[in-house]
């Protein structure tokens, strides 16, 4: 199955002493250019698909609002002056984040503490990995990308997005939720990889009170979650999990 998200390539497969030529499917990765009134302002490496959602979520995390239109398969036009983007480091936000302390200070200026009183059962969080994996159609075909899912407090998967970049997967999901006018206060964000501070930062900007993942958080991610009243849960594997911040939200 070759789609915009999946590419098929020629490979050689080794099995012991046996070696053969065959074909395999890999996740697609391609640049998406962001233009502000025709002026290029950033390039994001992403898995094609849900591009409007990706940019909407990314801009929301940066505190930027403006109309968005896809002008072709590899470009998004934003109806703002290019000067709005000067010094914001969108490339870093889409890839690996900027200096942690600077990011926290910047977040203090534009994000509010998450005041939702949401509480979730630990057994519900334990169900998230299998539910998200079942929704990962591109991962099933390629085994090579990340996923983010929004779940209700009761454990129902509301929406999920996949991308070669874990930050992009979150931005796509938040972009969808903003367009759907979903209230984040009664939802949890679950991630297929590790919990870097930049992903927690995006969750806080969105306003979700519970963030969990199959892997480990960083110390800065824990600090952010603690500061902004977000429960942080890592190493969700079977009935096991580690709670790193605001354990009162997990019962």
Which one of 2, 11, 69, 96 is the catalytic residue? 96
- Both structure tokens of 55: 């940019």
Q: Residue 60 and residue 51: Cα distance in Å, rounded?
A: 14
Contact 54, 70 (CB under 8 A): no
One DSSP character per residue, 179-240 reads HHT--GGGEEEEESS-B-HHHHHHHHHHT-SEEEESSPBPHHHHHHHHHTT-EEEEEEETTE
Q: Is 96 considered catalytic here?
A: yes
Contact 144, 22 (CB under 8 A): no
Angle between helix axes 197-206 and 166-180 (nearest 10 degrees) is 0
Q: Residue 190 and residue 133: Cα distance in Å, rounded?
A: 11
Q: Residue 187 and residue 198: Cα distance in Å, rounded?
A: 19
- Both structure tokens of 237: 């594997």
CA angle, residues 182, 188, 194, in degrees to nearest 5: 125
The β-bridge relationship of strands 39-46 and 146-152 is unpaired
Catalytic residues: 96
């Amino acid at each position: 199955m070759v789609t915009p998200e999946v590419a098929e390539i020629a490979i050689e497969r080794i099995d012991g002493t046996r070696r053969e030529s065959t074909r395999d499917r890999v996740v697609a990765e391609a640049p998406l250019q962001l233009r502000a009134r025709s002026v290029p302002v950033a390039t994001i490496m992403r898995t094609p698909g849900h591009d409007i959602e990706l940019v909407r979520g990314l801009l929301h995390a940066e505190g930027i609002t403006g109309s968005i239109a896809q002008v072709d398969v590899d470009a998004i036009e934003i109806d703002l002056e290019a000067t709005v983007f000067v010094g914001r480091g969108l490339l870093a936000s889409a890839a690996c984040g900027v200096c942690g302390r600077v990011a926290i200070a910047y977040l203090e200026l534009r994000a509010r503490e998450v005041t939702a009183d949401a509480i979730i059962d630990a057994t519900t969080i334990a169900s998230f990995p299998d539910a998200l994996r079942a929704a990962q159609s591109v991962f099933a075909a390629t085994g090579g990308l990340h996923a983010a899912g929004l779940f209700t407090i009761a454990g129902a998967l509301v929406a999920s997005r996949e991308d070669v970049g874990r930050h992009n997967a979150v931005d796509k999901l938040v972009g969808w939720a903003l367009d759907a006018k979903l209230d984040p206060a009664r939802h949890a964000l679950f991630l297929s990889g590790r919990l870097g501070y930049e992903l927690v930062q995006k969750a806080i900007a969105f306003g979700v009170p519970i963030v969990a993942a199959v892997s480990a958080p960083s110390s800065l991610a824990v600090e952010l979650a603690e500061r902004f009243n977000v429960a942080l849960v890592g190493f969700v594997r079977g009935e096991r999990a580690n709670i790193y911040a605001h354990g009162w939200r997990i019962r």
